[in-house]
Amino acid sequence: MKRLIYCALVALTLTSCTHPSSEAEARWPSVIVADSSGTEINSGDLLNGNRLVVSLWSTWCVPCRRELPQLQQFAVEHQDVSVVAVNLGDKLDSVAAYAAEIGLTMPVVIDSEGRISSAL
């Protein structure tokens, strides 16, 4: 039963994703943020014309910490979808340590000024 519910939730999530439209691109902000290594990147470059899954998370949020490994697996299995983990309010060293601990390879950005989260 749990497997059926899980499959249904995944199917609903995937079918609710749409190809980026001009409206979606307009809502996703193009701002300079730091990634988990401290490198400044333009958040607009993360869209890449793909569908986009965004996870807003913090290191203290237990449900967020449970979700990130699953999103990482999803990102590996679905290369045609951009998956971005947007950290809210943690220090760079905490974010980098947690990302390394769980083996995140998807983009992890630090939204310290709330410019991404407020646009969504």
Dihedrals phi, psi of 30, to nearest 5 degrees: -110, 90
Cα–Cα distance, 52 to 59 (Å, whole number): 22
pLDDT of 91 strictly over 90: yes
Token pair belonging to 76:
């590996």
Higher pLDDT, 6 or 83: 83
pLDDT at residue 9 tops 70: no
At 20 the pLDDT is 47
Residue 92 lies in a domain: yes
Measured CA to CA, the distance from residue 120 to residue 118 in angstroms comes to 5
pLDDT category, 42, cuts 50, 70, 90? confident
Report the Cα–Cα distance between both ends of the chain, in Å, rounded. Answer: 34
pLDDT digits (tens, 9 = 90+) for 44-81: 777 777 788 889 999 999 999 999 999 999 999 998 88
Is 3 inside any structural domain? no
Q: What is the CATH number of the domain that holds 91?
A: 3.40.30.10
Q: How many structural domains comprise the chain?
A: 1
Q: Is residue 61 part of a domain?
A: yes
Reported as a pLDDT band with limits 50, 70 and 90, residue 99 is very high
3-class secondary-structure state, position 36: coil
Partnered with residue 84 across adjacent β-strands are 54
CB 86 within 8 A of CB 63: no
**Higher-pLDDT residue of 6, 30:** 30
8 within domain boundaries? no
5 domain residue, yes or no:
no
Please name the residue that has the structure tokens 């607009």. 44
Domain with 71, as residue range(s), is: 20-119
With respect to residue 75, please indicate whether it lies within any of the assigned structural domains: yes
**What mean pLDDT, rounded, does the chain reach?**
79
